[in-house]
Structure 1
Amino acid sequence: MTAFFQSLGLSYEWAWTVATLIGIIVISLLVMFSVAMVIYVDRKVLGAIMMRRGPNVVGPFGLLQSFADGLKVFLQETIIPSAANKGIFLIAPIITFTVALAAWAVIPFDAGVVVSDINVGLLYILAISSMGVYGVVMSGWASNSKYPFFSAMRASAQMISYEVSIGFVLVCVVLFAGTFNLSGIVNAQQGFGLGLINAYVVHPLLFPMWVVFFISSLAETARAPFDLTEAESELVAGYQTEYSSMSFALFWLGEYANILLMCSLNTLLFWGGWLPPIDWAPLYMVPGIIWFLLKTFMFFFMFSWIWATVPRYRYDQLMRLGWKVFLPMSLLFVAATSGYLMATGHFA
């Protein structure tokens, strides 16, 4: 795209700037549209599993229900509690939403289809995703209410706990791929399994790490059965209790954007990204972005399925799983992976 704008007479700097801005707008619109659709899919999957209809009135098959809900919250009045810290109260949902979108800057949808294909893309994802907790903590503190505050404390402890395990899982992937670049990690998976399967997950050392990463993704996004930050039985609606109108909608959109981000990372790091499942020439005729979207939405379906079928953990069980099971396990597999790769001459 930069070369196209250069052909129109723009200097390289201006051509790059315009191309990058267009890429940001396109990716943002795509993510926002996908969020609206997956909210609909989420409700339909839950309805099917619970043997009820789900959205089916607004638009054909209820497809416009998410847009109707968005219009409803947009037209509602924004209510700020009188005892709240108004500045931080309003900034918190903006931070959550902005951080959720910023992470998508390094996600490759296909070969070369990425806003910024940086060499440290994986480190960027870790840094950006860890900032998401600030919006939750700020909202809980600024609301000046005990239930949002308790929820914010839970969220900070929960996200920090599982980010540690996620970090060690990613070390195992980086050791195999030899790069922090997400496109490079996907390309390293081509023909990885027996020279035929395009996925890291088939390796005996990486399959358990994918299981840990997938479960940690649920905890990192506060998704059931780890939705202790929004446990209505003891915290009303958690850190969102005092929010209404578009400020609530920004939290809602940011949450689903983060869920889609984690689904896409499962796809990119372990399941071959935009590559077809099998390294067979006819399958490459299907555009890579189609494979990427199919795999990503497969993981979102699994997220919804788990939400509908698995009961919520107690908070002590949640923390024990993170610190006493996943952390030692991921550390052990980092050592096992590095030892295996050194023994097989991978680094040579």
Structure 2
Amino acid sequence: MMVEVLISIAKIFVIVLGFVMAVAGLLTLLGDRKQSSKIQNRVGPNQAKILGIGILGIPHFLADGLKLVLKENITPAGANRFLHTLAPTLVLAPALIGWAVIPFMDHFCTGSIQTTTEYTEICVGGDWKNYFSIMHLNAGLLFAFAIAAISVYGAAIAGWASNSKYSLLGGLRSSAQMISYEVSMGLSLAGVLLIYGTLDLNEMARMQGYLLWDWLPMWGVVVQPLAFFLFFLAGMAETKRAPFDLPEGESEIVAGYLTEYSTMKFAMMQLAEYAATVFIAALIAVIFLGGWQVPFIYGDGIRIFDNHWVPFGEQAWYWISIFLRIGAMVFKILLLVWLQFMMRWTLPRFRYDQVMTLGWKILLPLSIANLFVTALIVTLL
């Protein structure tokens, strides 16, 4: 029992602190500064140095953190002090709790792995152990959506509790935007659920290891291409990042619900947005890009057109396949994060009426049509 508890604690530290927080923190440098400078053909951060060495702008990342720690913490006059302090936690916590159900690899087999003719893996002479996600839920997708929806409360409370018209407008925008796009997000996944028939994220990733016609991976983007684009756009709107950053519209409402925040409260709110960006990328990777699956690579060897090859021996190969699959999952997440930031720095911010029009008049009808067509095809087949 104690061993299982220690394993769970280790998974939390490795996934949440070692990966999510590290990536989210570095995105303030690599995404908002270095990537934007490359796209805009200008020099990025290069002035802050340690012992005269710039180290790719990393001292700027450290200087920002130090500045936020040392600045004065200000609570506006007339603000609700308790809710103003609580709101950053309500924004950050869901972005981290949702990672509890994200699988970075299939369950570990204590016996030997065998791949069936249906390209599904079974554990022979042992048990499946959940070592590569914080916890395993049969309704993991439902849990992820329920937790992600809580973050809207943090933004709305931050806007109201700040006693500022700009903050209130930002909170109202955030609430309306998240409610609008959550409908399209849910409906875009309905077709995926019809095909895979499960809410278990690990099982969903496992099913995407099946090969259509013995060569085409049955990834979500293959069987539901329209749902992939709908979910991707709706997910970007959920994270409130450009071009959907209307709740923080600097050109008209200063910084929206962030206007009256400073020091580490502001840092928590910003870090939550970056963590949410990485979380949406992880969900897309699991649901539409096969998750930890690598085409033709299985726990018992490489299979291509019914040809089975086991390099390095079965036991050694199983451990190699584990590292390959974890690396593939991380690569897919980082690729999708990079794509989101590419869209951030290449597309102008939408007007608020355009954001609402896109959500209710374009994405919603397309997601409903996709559901009907998918249901029809599944029924006929």
Contact 2:141 2:199 in 1 (8 A): yes
TM-score by length of 2: 0.83
1:217, distance to aligned residue in structure 2 (A):
1.1
Contact 1:193 1:202 in 2 (8 A): no
- State the alpha-carbon separation in 1 of the partners of residues 174 and 256 from structure 2: 10
The answer on 1:240 being equivalent to 2:258 is yes
Aligned to 1:178: 197
SS in structure 1 opposite 2:291?
Answer: coil
Contact 2:241 2:273 in 1 (8 A): no
Aligned to 2:44: 54
Bigger Cα Rg: 2
Aligned to 2:34: 44
CA offset digits 1:292-318 (Å, max 9, x no partner): 111111111111111111111111111
Contact 1:148 1:238 in 2 (8 A): yes
SS in structure 2 opposite 1:202?
Answer: helix
The answer on 1:115 being equivalent to 2:159 is no
1:192, distance to aligned residue in structure 2 (A):
4.1
The answer on 1:213 being equivalent to 2:202 is no
CA offset digits 1:95-140 (Å, max 9, x no partner): 1111111011111112231001110000001100100001100000
The answer on 1:137 being equivalent to 2:156 is yes
- Decide which moves more: 210-219 or 323-332: 323-332
The answer on 1:261 being equivalent to 2:279 is yes
Alignment of 1:255-334 (within 5 A): 255-277=273-295, 281=302, 284=321, 287-334=324-371
Which one has the bigger strand percentage?
A: 2
- State the alpha-carbon separation in 2 of the partners of residues 277 and 228 from structure 1: 39
1:268, distance to aligned residue in structure 2 (A):
0.7
- State the alpha-carbon separation in 1 of the partners of residues 172 and 166 from structure 2: 10
Aligned to 1:338: 375
Task: Return the letter of the residue paired with 1:339.
Answer: L
1:321, distance to aligned residue in structure 2 (A):
1.1
Alignment of 1:191-206 (within 5 A): 191-198=210-217, 199-203=219-223, 206=224
- State the alpha-carbon separation in 2 of the partners of residues 318 and 279 from structure 1: 41
Work out the percentage of aligned pairs sharing the same amino acid.
39
1:277, distance to aligned residue in structure 2 (A):
4.5
Contact 1:96 1:251 in 2 (8 A): yes
- State the alpha-carbon separation in 1 of the partners of residues 216 and 284 from structure 2: 16
SS in structure 1 opposite 2:222?
Answer: coil
Aligned to 2:119: none
SS in structure 2 opposite 1:287?
Answer: helix
What is the Cα-based RMSD across aligned positions, in Å? 1.8
Aligned to 1:33: 22
Contact 1:36 1:67 in 2 (8 A): no
Contact 1:192 1:200 in 2 (8 A): no
- State the alpha-carbon separation in 2 of the partners of residues 200 and 270 from structure 1: 4
Aligned to 1:87: 82
CA offset digits 1:25-58 (Å, max 9, x no partner): 2222121111122222202111100011223344
- State the alpha-carbon separation in 1 of the partners of residues 194 and 377 from structure 2: 10
Aligned to 2:9: 21
- State the alpha-carbon separation in 1 of the partners of residues 206 and 59 from structure 2: 37
Aligned to 2:188: 169
How has the CA–CA distance of structure 1 residues 72 and 117 changed in structure 2, closer, same or farther, with 3 Å as cutoff? same
Question: How many residues are matched?
Answer: 330
1:193, distance to aligned residue in structure 2 (A):
4.4
Unaligned runs of 5+ in 1: 1-11
- State the alpha-carbon separation in 1 of the partners of residues 16 and 59 from structure 2: 19
Aligned to 2:69: 74
Aligned to 1:8: none
